[in-house]
Chain A
């Protein structure tokens, strides 16, 4: 079933599928053809990954003319986030995340 949390974790457990999500984070609303550009996965492999991502509701496909456009849908990830991170932890977790990001940037300099 579409709401199944198992599907979300399963979909996220694969590097290629995470790469497809990264691609949509970079540029939302891509067609299958556009999603196939930029890496060496076959069209069939990308299609297969998209089926799983759509089943997990992490990608939403919208028909536009003859094309299907794919959108990153972070809502299921947010549902999981909210399950374990409460109102009062949120700011502290965010602070740690910001610290980590800032340190990463310093490393690159």
Chain B
């Protein structure tokens, strides 16, 4: 694996099991991920989709499960369904740091000239802040649905592609 392009980290007052559940349970994820959630059986080699949980025909992101080790590590290949060749790789790492949970999101292995790079910068920090807020206070910050929310991005896909 080439060196990652992005490493995002947040510390959450929670347990690794709850953080894992927050990532893989689409109904829970929808609360902080602007209505989106990951749908998959999470077996190695299985497909996964990031969908609008109210209408699963709206697919924002797709890929395959590379590794799934609850509640420590989930690695996915990551692509926009309209451009499947532009695939990258996302790893969620969950660990303990004192009495806090440390969650790392590592996004890398981009294809040369990938436009995913542009799409995701700005997206993950929003998702992680919202996740932290929901787990710690029970309140999510529903900023993502305002912006449309796409493949790890805070902007609608058509806007992210323009220019």
Chain A contacts to B: CB under 8 angstroms: 1-3, 28-29, 57, 60, 62, 64, 69, 71, 73-79, 81-82, 86-87, 90-91
Contact = CB atoms under 8 A, between A and B. Distances in A.
The SS class assigned to the B binding surface is: mixed
The SS class assigned to the A binding surface is: mixed
B137 to A, nearest CB: 11
A87 B126 CA distance: 12
A79 B129 contact: yes
B17 interface: no
B141 A87 contact: yes
Interface stretch (B5-13, B51-59, B70-78): B5-13
B104 interface: yes
A87 B125 contact: no
Contact of B10 (A29, A75, A87, A91): A75
Given A3-B11, A60-B9, A87-B142, A78 B3 contact: no
B79 interface: no
A64 B106 CA distance: 14
B7 A60 contact: yes
Given A29-B3, A69-B3, A79 B9 contact: no
